[in-house]
C-alpha cells in the first residue's frame, strides 16, 4: 500500500511487515526517513536532525542557516555537484561542461499494479499484488528530469525501484553515472555480506563489518560475473538465520554493475546500486530518455532466512514467467561431461536409450552439434547442424529421442563468434573489435555486437530455423567470456559509452523474441556456469546453470551462497561422474543426487558407463526427486548449517508452506575417528503436530525441532541422508 500524506508531504510505502518512508522537504529535496519494521505511517521527520558541520555546504534557499546540508541529510536520490560528497547515484556532463544536477520534487502519481520497464527485466504484479509510485524530480537549470519508480508488493514484503532520466532541456546532457537506487540506513552498526568467487567457485558469502569510507563490489566484464554477484545484504553484526535485522538488495540486470556501501563522517550508512559507471556515458539529446535497471529490496526483522525466503517467493512468482514458471521441469541428462565434443549420431543414440531406461525425461545435446565445431577454437556463429557428426540431422535425432519417451534439447551460444566460422567470414564487423587494434580473444572466441539489432536478429534467424526444424523442447543459452574491445561500428565516438548497456539490451531483446516465438521452450541460462546468475536473466530463463563445478562438496558451498537470494527452482544442478572432472574428488552417487536435488536436478554423465546397481539407484533418485518436487521447488528453504563453519556436516531443509511436510537434507563433509554424535535440528515445523519420519518412527514437531534428529555414525566422508517428515 502506498500513501501520500499531504499535510507532511510524506510517502509511506507499506508492505505487510515493513514500512519505507521519505518526505519532500520545503525546498523540494527528497529526504529518506525510514525503512524497517511496519509502522503506522506517522512521520519520522523528527529524526532529521541538523547541525552546522564544517565543510558541509548549504543550498542557497536556507540563506544564513548553515545547519542544512545535502552532505549530512539522508537523501532518497541524491543530487550531484551541489553539496553531497558521499557515494553518488548520478554524474552528469552538461552542455557547458559543468557536472551539477540539482534534483527537486515536481510531481508524483500513485496507481494500482506494478510498473514495467521497456526492454528491461522487472518484477511484475497485477493490481491485487502491487502498487506503483512515480516521483518526478527536475533540475531547474538544465531541465534534466529523473522519474523514480517504486513498486510495492505488500504480501511479499518486497519493494522495487528503478529510475528513468529524460533530458527536458534544450541542450544535450551526458549521464556518466546513472545508478538505480540509494538506500540511506542512518547510523547503524552493520555487516555487509557479498557473494564472491571465481569461475567454478561462484557466490561464496563474504561477511565483513561496514567501516568508515567506501566498500565496493562491481563487475566491468560486461556480465554480472563469477567474481561478484549483484546481490548484497546489510545486517546487524549479530544477525543470524533466525534473528537480527537485515536488508537485501538485488539488481535486476545482467551487465556491468556496482554496489557501494559508504559509512560517512557521522557513521551513517548509504547503499547504492546500479550499472557500473566504468566506461558508461549515455548521451541524452533533448527529449531523449535513459532507464536504469530495477533493484529489488526487502527488510527482515527476523534474520537472513526470512530475507532469503522473500526473494525466493518473489523470484518464483513475480519474476520468472511463462509456461515453465510453475510446471515441473523435466529431469535432464546433459551430454557435456558425458562426451564433450567427442560424439556422433550413434553415440548419442546409445546415450539416449541408456538414459531413457533410467527415467531421464530430457536429453540435452550440449556444445559441438553445429558448424565445424570439433573443439572450442571454431564454429561459433554457424548455427546449422554438422552433417559429419549428425548425418540425419536434428530432426531425426529429436524423433529418436522422443520415441524413447524423452524430450530433446540443444546448447547454443548466440552472443559469440569464432574467427573460424562462416559467420565471421561474412560479417567480420559484427564482432566487438576496435579498428586498428588486434582483438583480445577469450576461450578463443570473439563477442558479437548485440547492441546492433541486425546482429542479434541475424543470429536469431539461424537459431529460429533450427528450433523450427526439429522438436526442440529446451535450449541452454551459454556465454563463455568477458567483454573486451568494446567498440561498435554502429555508434559514433560520443556514444561508445552506451555500448555495454546496449549490448545487454540486445541480449534481452533476443531472449524476449525467442520466448515469445517459442512460448513452451524451456530456456536455461548459463555463462560458463554461474557468470550471469542474476535476477535479470531469471526474467527470461527460469533456471540457470549454477556453476561449471559439479563436485558435490564444492556445490554445497556455492549452492549455500546462491540460496541467500535465489530459489532452488532457479539453480541448475546435476549429478556428474566420479572422480569429479573439476576437483578429482569421489563422492557417493547418493550424495551427488541429494546435492543436485537442491536445484533443478539432472545428470551430466555417460549413463552407459554405470553399473546395474548404479542405474537402479539413478532410477530411484529420479523417482525421489519427482516425489519431493513440490517441496524442493515450492517449499520454504532454510539453511540449517553454514558449510564454511561446520566442518562435520551440511544440512538444509525444504518445508511446505502449511508445515504439513518437510525434507531435511544432510551431507557429512568430514568423517572423524571416535567422533562425537551429530544432531540436525529441523526448523519451521508445527510444534504441536505429529510427524512421521519416513522409515524412522513418528515424533511431535517440538521434539524434532528442539531435540533434533540424530545422525547415523560412521560410514566415512561424504555420507548423506534425506529425512522426509510428514504430518499425520
Residues interacting with ligand DGJ, by CB under 6 A? 336, 366-367, 411, 478, 480, 526, 528-529, 545, 548
Cis peptide before 579 (omega within 30 of 0): yes
What single DSSP character describes residue 705?
A: I
- DSSP letter at 651 equals E
Are the C-beta atoms of residues 655 and 392 closer than 8 Å to each other? no
Sign of the torsion angle spanned by Cα atoms 654, 658, 659, 661 = negative
H or E element in which residue 583 lies: none
Q: At what angle do helices 589-596 and 552-562 cross, to 10 degrees?
A: 20
Q: Which is nearer to ligand DGJ, 478 or 624 (CB)?
A: 478
Residue among 393, 330, 204 nearest 625 (CA): 330
Report d(CA 61, CA 197) in Å as an integer: 48
Q: Which grid cell is 89? A: 547515484
Active site residue 534: yes
Identify the helix (H) or strand (E) that includes residue 416: strand 416-417
Which is the catalytic residue, given 184, 264, 498, 534?
534
Please list, in sequence order, all residues whose beta carbon lies within 8 angstroms of the beta carbon of residue 210, skipping any fewer than 6 positions away.
Answer: 189, 190, 191, 192, 234, 261, 263, 269
Query: What count of other Cβ atoms lies within 10 Å of the Cβ of residue 56?
Result: 20
Phi, psi angle pair for 13, to nearest 5°: -110, 100
Phi, psi of 19 (to 5 degrees): -135, 135
CB of 481 to ligand DGJ, least distance (A): 10
DSSP 609: G
| Burial of 493 (C-beta count, 10 Å sphere; 0-12/13-18/19+) | exposed
Query: Can you tell me the distance from the alpha carbon of 565 to that of 544, in angstroms, rounded to the nearest whole number?
Result: 13
In the structure grid, which three cell numbers stand for residue 392, read together? 540425419
The cell for 710 is 540424530
Closer residue to ligand DGJ in complex, CB, 337/661: 337
DSSP assignment of 635-674, as one string? SEEEE-S-TTT-SSEEEEEEE-TTSSEEEEEEEE----TT
- Taking the least distance from each CB to ligand DGJ, the nearer of 104 and 443 is 443
The angle subtended at Cα 258 by Cα 253 and Cα 264, nearest 5°, is 140
As measured in angstroms, the least distance from the Cβ of 101 to ligand DGJ is 42
CA distances from 234 to 43, 95, 363 (A): 24, 38, 42
Q: Quote the least distance from Cβ 352 to ligand DGJ, whole Å.
A: 18
Task: Tell me how crowded residue 486 is: count the other CB atoms within 10 A of its CB.
Answer: 20
Phi-psi region of 317 (alpha: psi -120 to 50; beta: other; left: phi over 0): alpha
d(CA 90, CA 101): 8
With respect to ligand DGJ, which residue has the nearer C-beta, 297 or 526? Answer: 526
Strand duo 690-693 + 602-604: pairing: unpaired
Looking at the Cβ atoms of 452 and 476, the one nearer to ligand DGJ is: 476
User: Which residue lies nearer to ligand DGJ by CB, 336 or 721?
Assistant: 336
Cβ pair 682, 713 in contact under 8 A: no
Whole-angstrom Cα distance, residue 445 to residue 425?
A: 14
Residue nearest to ligand DGJ according to CB distances in the complex: 367
Sign, Cα dihedral of 554, 556, 559, 564: negative
Helix or strand (DSSP H, E) at 398 = helix 393-403
**Annotated active-site residue in 581, 614, 648, 717:** 614
CA atoms within 13 A on the CB side of 164: 16
* Residues 486 and 498 sit within 8 Å (Cβ to Cβ): no
Name which of 73 and 200 has its Cβ closer to ligand DGJ. Answer: 200
Active-site amino acid positions:
534, 614
Amino acid at each position: 500500500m502506498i500513501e501520500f500524506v499531504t499535510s507532511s508531504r510524506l510517502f509511506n510505502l507499506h508492505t505487510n511487515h515493513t514500512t519505507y518512508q521519505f518526505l519532500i522537504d520545503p525546498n523540494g529535496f527528497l529526504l529518506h526517513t525510514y525503512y524497517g519494521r511496519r509502522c503506522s505511517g506517522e512521520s519520522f521527520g523528527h529524526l532529521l536532525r541538523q547541525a552546522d558541520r564544517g565543510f558541509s555546504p548549504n543550498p542557497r534557499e536556507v540563506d544564513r542557516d548553515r545547519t542544512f546540508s545535502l552532505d549530512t541529510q539522508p537523501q532518497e536520490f541524491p543530487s550531484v555537484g551541489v553539496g553531497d560528497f558521499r557515494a553518488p547515484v548520478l554524474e552528469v556532463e552538461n552542455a557547458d561542461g559543468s557536472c551539477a544536477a540539482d534534483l527537486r520534487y515536481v510531481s508524483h502519481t500513485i496507481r494500482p499494479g506494478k510498473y514495467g520497464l521497456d526492454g528491461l527485466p522487472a518484477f511484475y504484479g497485477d493490481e491485487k499484488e502491487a502498487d506503483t509510485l512515480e516521483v518526478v524530480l527536475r533540475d531547474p537549470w538544465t531541465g534534466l528530469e529523473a522519474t523514480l519508480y517504486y513498486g510495492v508488493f505488500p504480501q511479499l514484503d518486497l519493494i522495487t525501484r528503478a529510475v528513468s532520466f529524460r533530458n527536458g532541456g534544450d541542450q544535450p546532457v551526458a549521464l556518466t553515472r546513472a545508478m538505480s537506487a540509494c538506500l540511506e540506513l542512518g547510523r547503524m552498526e552493520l555487516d555487509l555480506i557479498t557473494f564472491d568467487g571465481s569461475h567454478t567457485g561462484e557466490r561464496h558469502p563474504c561477511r565483513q563489518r561496514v567501516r568508515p569510507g567506501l566498500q565496493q563490489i562491481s563487475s566491468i566484464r560486461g556480465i554480472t560475473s563469477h567474481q561478484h554477484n549483484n546481490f548484497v545484504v546489510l545486517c546487524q553484526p549479530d544477525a543470524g538465520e533466525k534473528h537480527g535485522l537485515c536488508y537485501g538488495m538485488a539488481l535486476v540486470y545482467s551487465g556491468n554493475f556496482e554496489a557501494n556501501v559508504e559509512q560517512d563522517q557521522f557513521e551513517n550508512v548509504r547503499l547504492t546500486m546500479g550499472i557500473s559507471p566504468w566506461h558508461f556515458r549515455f548521451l541524452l539529446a533533448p527529449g531523449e530518455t535513459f532507464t536504469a535497471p530495477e533493484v529489488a529490496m526487502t527488510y527482515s526483522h527476523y534474520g537472513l532466512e526470512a530475507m532469503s525466503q522473500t526473494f525466493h517467493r518473489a523470484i518464483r512468482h513475480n519474476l520468472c514467467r511463462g509456461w515453465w514458471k510453475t510446471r515441473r521441469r523435466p529431469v535432464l541428462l546433459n551430454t557435456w561431461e558425458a562426451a564433450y565434443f567427442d560424439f556422433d549420431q550413434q553415440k548419442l543414440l546409445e546415450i539416449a536409450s541408456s538414459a531413457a531406461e533410467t527415467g531421464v525425461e530430457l536429453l540435452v545435446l550440449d556444445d559441438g552439434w553445429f558448424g565445424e565445431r570439433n573443439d572450442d577454437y571454431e564454429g561459433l556463429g554457424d548455427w546449422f547442424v554438422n552433417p559429419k557428426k549428425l548425418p540425419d540431422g536434428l530432426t531425426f535425432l529429436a524423433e529418436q529421442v522422443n520415441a524413447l519417451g524423452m524430450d530433446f534439447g540443444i546448447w547454443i551460444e548466440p552472443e559469440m563468434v569464432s574467427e573460424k566460422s562462416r559467420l565471421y567470414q561474412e560479417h567480420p564487423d559484427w564482432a566487438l573489435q576496435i579498428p586498428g587494434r588486434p582483438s583480445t580473444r577469450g576461450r578463443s572466441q570473439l563477442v558479437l555486437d548485440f547492441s546492433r539489432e541486425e546482429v542479434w536478429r541475424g543470429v536469431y534467424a539461424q537459431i529460429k530455423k533450427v528450433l523450427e526444424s526439429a522438436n526442440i523442447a529446451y535450449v541452454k543459452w551459454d556465454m563463455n567470456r568477458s567483454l573486451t574491445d568494446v567498440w561498435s561500428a554502429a555508434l559514433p565516438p560520443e556514444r561508445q559509452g552506451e555500448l555495454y548497456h546496449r549490448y545487454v539490451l540486445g541480449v534481452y531483446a533476443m531472449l524476449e523474441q525467442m520466448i515469445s516465438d517459442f512460448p513452451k521452450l524451456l530456456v536455461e541460462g548459463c555463462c560458463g556456469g554461474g557468470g550471469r546468475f542474476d535476477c535479470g536473466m531469471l526474467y527470461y530463463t527460469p533456471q540457470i546453470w549454477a556453476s561449471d563445478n559439479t563436485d558435490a562438496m564444492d556445490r554445497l558451498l556455492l549452492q549455500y551462497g546462491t540460496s541467500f537470494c535465489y530459489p532452488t527452482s532457479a539453480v541448475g544442478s546435476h549429478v556428474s561422474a566420479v572422480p569429479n572432472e573439476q576437483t578429482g574428488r569421489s563422492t557417493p552417487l547418493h550424495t551427488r543426487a541429494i546435492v543436485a536435488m537442491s536445484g533443478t536436478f539432472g545428470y551430466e554423465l555417460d549413463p552407459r558407463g554405470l553399473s546395474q546397481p548404479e542405474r537402479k539407484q539413478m532410477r530411484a533418485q529420479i523417482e525421489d526427486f519427482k516425489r519431493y518436487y513440490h517441496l524442493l521447488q515450492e517449499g520454504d528453504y532454510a539453511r540449517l548449517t553454514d558449510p564454511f563453519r561446520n566442518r562435520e556436516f551440511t544440512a538444509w531443509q525444504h518445508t511446505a508452506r502449511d508445515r504439513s511436510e518437510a525434507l531435511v537434507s544432510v551431507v557429512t563433509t568430514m568423517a572423524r575417528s571416535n567422533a562425537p554424535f551429530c544432531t540436525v535440528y529441523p526448523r519451521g515445523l508445527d510444534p504441536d503436530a505429529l510427524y512421521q519420519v519416513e522409515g524412522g518412527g513418528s515424533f511431535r514437531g517440538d521434539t524434532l525441532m528442539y531435540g533434533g534428529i540424530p545422525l547415523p555414525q560412521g560410514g566415512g566422508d561424504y555420507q548423506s541422508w534425506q529425512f522426509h517428515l510428514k504430518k499425520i
